Amino acid sequence: MKHCVIVDGYSAGNLLPAEFKARGYAAIHVQSTPVIWPILTLTYRPDDYAHHFAYEGDLAPLVQGIQGLEPVAVLAGTETGVELADQLSEALGLPTNGTRLSAARRDKHVMIETARAAGLKVARQFKGASAAAIVDWVAREGLAKVVVKPLKSAGTDSVAVCRTAAEIEAACERIVGKVNQLGLMNDEVLCQEFLEGTEYALDAVSLNGQAHFTAIWKYHKVTVNDAEFVYDRDELVSCRDEVGQALCAYTREVLAALEITQGPSHAEIMLTPDGPALVEIGTRLNGITTPALHERCVGYGQLDLTVDACVDATAFAAKAAEPYDLKEYALSISLISEQTGTVSGVPGEALIRALPSFNEVRMRAKPGYELRRTIDFYTHPGFAILVHPDREVLHTDLGKIRGHERAGRMYDL
């Protein structure tokens, strides 16, 4: 039997084995680290894989063990698997983004500088381990507001908006020398000018350099629990209007600059008064991939198109022939907690399911879960997906969810 290879099949990457299985392909899991970082084990489904390999620093035995299993594709399940997936796909002679710019697809400083060198609009930035050096750079550049974050992270982990030297110093203290949510040590921090505008996420799949966009999400973020950049909701919008076309055109240039020619990508783009500017991009599925939503709203989504790109070029070409149309409206809502405690029940799940626009709910909070105040992607207790032909119904239902949260009706603690 032929196989697909998933490196670090966590987060939305855990959806890939079932989609490949439906096409007649078994899945191989490759673990990029000796130990799976605890937060990633929450989404790991080992029973979905026919074979398991652990990378121990030597690529040769890993390639030797896999190549006899007739692999047809190698994909990163989540951010931690990107660089190893590039190495494996290249070594196995499979469709690949290659290793030449792997670092630019993971290290956010290198990423932005690579895009800048290609002539794209990006933020001014500086990296270092010293808060003093960063404060000095901000002063020299005359920046009133900056974003401080780890170089290799995901999900708004430790991202802070800073306006003063004291805030920059505090942000650096929280990052440097600490292990981030992906289990990686933060040796340095990245400081970027704050880009004013509206942020969008663009999900795409590429095959031999042809990129097709499966969704554009308009981000809405809030300040809550003293944390900025907390996801509130993402709204699915058209790719056919003037804004959508401009975002897609710019993102194609980013993909070209970073040599992303194969597989899924998830780009975060700020639409500034001067045009689109790259925030960051990952060569993996959107972390909140929702096949049921995309089936209703578009007819296909990033997950099935990714598998098409690997095993069915004809199906890929058919879907990629035209920009997607919106059949219904959708909101992806990040649940927010201002409570703490051990969860004994989740009555809020039934409340969400009763909404007129209910499509899907994914709860991290289950009996025994340690509920924390939401400050980033990893502390959202769950996600609700709403779909409806009437956009006003979506926003009414969103208001109901936030009302349940404020009233403490979501969780028994």
Please state the rounded mean pLDDT for residues 98-122: 96
Write the pLDDT tens digit of every residue in 41-62. 889 999 999 999 999 999 999 9
Which pLDDT belongs to residue 62? 96
Query: In this predicted structure, what is the pLDDT of residue 156?
Result: 61
The CATH class that applies to domain 329-413 reads alpha beta
Pick from 58-62, 94-98, 150-154, 277-281: least confident: 150-154
Encode pLDDT of 320-350 as tens digits. Answer: 999 999 999 999 999 999 999 999 999 999 9
Pairing, β 3-7 against β 26-31: parallel
* Structural tokens at position 335: 């649940």
223 confidence band (pLDDT: 50, 70, 90)? confident
- Predicted local distance difference test score (pLDDT) of residue 151: 77
- The whole-angstrom separation of Cα 83 and Cα 68 is 22
Choose which CATH entry (3.30.460.80, 3.40.50.150, 3.30.470.20, 3.40.190.290) describes domain 196-327.
3.30.470.20
Task: State how far the alpha carbon of 156 is from the alpha carbons of 142, 184, 202, in Å.
Answer: 25, 15, 17
Q: How far is residue 242's CA from residue 250's CA, in Å, rounded to a whole number? A: 12
- Banded pLDDT at 376 (limits 50, 70, 90): confident
Residues 2, 72: Cα–Cα separation, whole Å: 7
CATH architecture of 124-193: 2-Layer Sandwich (3.30)
Long-range contacts of 118-123 (CB under 8 A, 24+ apart): 118/253, 118/256, 118/257, 120/250, 120/253, 120/254, 120/257, 120/277, 120/278, 121/272, 121/274, 121/275, 121/276, 121/277, 121/278, 122/277, 122/278, 123/147, 123/192, 123/193, 123/194, 123/195, 123/277, 123/279
Provide the residue ranges of all domains of the chain, joining segments of one domain with +. Answer: 3-96, 124-193, 196-327, 329-413
| CATH-assigned architecture of domain 3-96 | 3-Layer(aba) Sandwich (3.40)
Length of the chain (residues): 413
pLDDT over 70, % of the chain = 98
User: pLDDT per residue over 274-315, tens digit each?
Assistant: 999 999 999 999 988 889 899 999 999 999 999 999 999 999
